[in-house]
Amino acid sequence: MKLITSREQLVENIRRYAGSADELAGLMAYGHAWYAWRTEGGWLFAPSKFIGYEGMDAETYRRRNNKGLDGRVTEKVLRQWADPIGQGHPQYDELHAALASLLTHQGKTPNTLARISIVRS
């Protein structure tokens, strides 16, 4: 699969993931690298393995999640448009609570290794 080449593609993929959250609930707890995009309605989240590839959709992600999708590769591309947040970051607690809320809504809990990056505006 081809990697994304723009921040616009990244944001489009985050929106697509958010719209498919119910379909992808079974895979959410496995996400390590989450990306957050601030909208007027709040934060949207998506894992790097979904948003790093062009035109990713729920069906392709479910089918290929453990076959050919590599979060290490996507994170190298995504870092040019996003900043990781650590425990000292002023939005750390807010974002981790929002991610936990998303997963709880789907009957899941975040991976203990989960980390979040904020997509730059």
- Kindly state the helix (H) or strand (E) to which residue 24 belongs, with its residue range: helix 21-28
DSSP result, 32-83: -EEEEEEETTEEEEEEHHHHTBTT--HHHHHHHTTTT--HHHHHHHHTTTEE
CA distance 87 to 13: 26
- pLDDT of 51 over the 90 cut: yes
Distances (CA, A) of 17 to 38, 91, 97: 14, 22, 19
Give the pLDDT score at 91. 95
- pLDDT of 48 over the 90 cut: yes
Q: pLDDT tens digits for 59-78?
A: 999 888 778 889 899 999 99
CA distance 52 to 31: 13
Give the pLDDT score at 95. 96
Q: What are phi and psi of 120, to 5 degrees?
A: -70, 145
Write the single-letter amino acid at 99.
Answer: L
Q: pLDDT tens digits for 79-117?
A: 999 999 999 999 999 999 999 999 998 899 888 899 999
Cβ-based neighbour number of residue 76 at 10 Å? 13
